[in-house]
Amino acid sequence: MTGFAEIAILITLASLLGLIANKLRQPPLLGYILAGVIIGSTELIPHEGIESLELFSQIGITFLLFILGLELNIGDLKKLGRVALVTGIGQILFTTLFGYLLSKVQGFQSVTAIYIAIALTFSSTIVIVKLLSTKRELNTLHGKISIGFLLVQDLAAMLILIGLVTFGSSGSAEGSVIGQIGSLMIKIPLLIIAMWVMSKYILPWLIEQTQHDREVLFLLVIAWALILAAVVSSPFFGFSIEIGALLAGISLSSSKESLQIESWTRSLRDFFLTVFFVLLGLHTSVDSLSSIIGPALVFSAFVLIGNPLIVMIIMGLLGYNKRTNFFISLTVAQISEFSLLVAALGLNLGHLTTNEIAILTLVGGITMSVSSYMIYYSQWLYDRLKPVLSIFEFRKSQKRGSYKKKLEDHIVIFGFYRLAEDLLSEILTNPDNFLLVDHDPKTVERLSEKGISIIYGDMNDTDLYEHLNLDSARLILSTISDRSSNDKLLEFKHMQGITTPLILTVSNDTDAQYFYDKGVEYIIYPQLIAGQKLKTIITAEPSELEGKLDRYSKRELSQLGKRFDVDVVISS
pLDDT over 70 (residue 331): yes
pLDDT over 70 (residue 359): yes
Q: How confident is the model at residue 173 (pLDDT cuts 50, 70, 90)?
A: very low
69-78, 90-99, 545-554 — most confident range: 90-99
pLDDT of the residue at 73: 62
Question: How far apart are the C-alpha atoms of 292 and 295, rounded to whole Å?
Answer: 6
Q: Which carries the bigger pLDDT value, residue 3 or residue 515?
A: 515
pLDDT of the residue at 20: 92
Window from 448-457, 468-477, 481-490, 503-512 with minimum mean pLDDT: 448-457
Which helix H or strand E contains 522, and what residues bound it? strand 522-524
pLDDT of the residue at 170: 47
The DSSP 8-state label assigned to residue 563 in this structure reads -
Question: How far apart are the C-alpha atoms of 334 and 308, rounded to whole Å?
Answer: 10
pLDDT of the residue at 466: 80
Q: What is the mean pLDDT of residues 463-488?
A: 87
Q: What is the mean pLDDT of residues 159-180?
A: 59
Pairs from 402-409 (Cβ < 8 Å, separation ≥ 24): 402/448, 402/453, 402/454, 403/435, 403/453, 403/454, 403/455, 404/432, 404/453, 407/435, 407/468, 407/469, 407/472, 407/473, 408/469, 408/472, 409/433, 409/472, 409/473, 409/474
Beta carbons within 10 angstroms of residue 310's beta carbon = 21
The set of residues, in sequence order, having a beta carbon less than 8 Å from that of 74 and lying 6+ positions away, is 254
- Per-chain mean pLDDT for the chain: 81
Which helix H or strand E contains 504, and what residues bound it? strand 502-505
Question: How far apart are the C-alpha atoms of 548 and 570, rounded to whole Å?
Answer: 36
**3-state SS record for 379-445:** HHHHHHHHHHHHHHCCCHHHHCEECCCCCCCCEEEECCCCCHHHHHHHHHHCHHHEEEEECCHHHHH
Residue 75 one-letter amino acid: G
Q: Is the pTM of this model over 0.75?
A: no
pLDDT over 90 (residue 304): yes
Which helix H or strand E contains 523, and what residues bound it? strand 522-524
pLDDT of the residue at 563: 57
Q: Tell me the pLDDT tens digit for each residue of 184-203.
A: 677 777 777 877 787 777 87
Ordered domains of the chain (ranges, CATH):
3-385 (1.20.1530.20), 401-571 (3.40.50.720)
